[in-house]
């Protein structure tokens, strides 16, 4: 069974890889805001992805500030993103189904409560 921490880490990695594939020029601040973590947290995540060989640094030549980098997904990064996408989708579909069942149970409970209230009113 995957731990809650591992799921959160996978979700964060998935979101970062997805964002970087769409926009490699995103700054760490922009990434942090989009993912919902601190800038320090994003720095840590990016370093982990680079260490795993999933992301590589490239120069962002269109920037006025030549210290800016582009974060490019490696072929391994693209493959990992695809795997994370599949597991993320499976997990979200399971969560959706559980939520749908809970909503249906609550609707039935409300209907039962209204019937009971109506019966009380009629008997009074």
CA distance 3 to 8: 9
| Residue listed under structure tokens 């795993």 | 52
What confidence score (pLDDT) does residue 111 get? 82
| Helix extents (H) in 1-124 | 4-22, 28-35, 39-51, 75-123
pTM listed for this prediction: 0.73
CA distance 108 to 2: 33
CA distance 88 to 123: 52
Q: What is the pLDDT of residues 21-70, one digit of tens each?
A: 999 999 999 999 999 999 999 999 999 999 999 999 987 665 555 567 89
């Amino acid at each position: 069974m995957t731990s809650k921490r591992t799921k959160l880490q996978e979700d964060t990695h998935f979101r970062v890889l997805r964002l970087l594939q769409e926009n490699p020029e995103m700054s760490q601040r922009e990434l942090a805001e989009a993912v919902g973590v601190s800038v320090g947290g994003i720095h840590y995540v990016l370093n982990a992805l680079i260490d795993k060989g999933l992301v590589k640094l490239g120069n962002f030549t269109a920037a006025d500030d030549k210290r800016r980098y582009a974060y490019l997904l490696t072929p391994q990064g693209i493959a990992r993103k695809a795997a994370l996408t599949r597991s993320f989708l499976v997990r979200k579909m399971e969560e959706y189904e559980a939520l749908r069942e809970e909503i249906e149970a609550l609707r039935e409970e409300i209907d039962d409560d209204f019937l009971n209230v109506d019966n009380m009113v009629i008997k009074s």
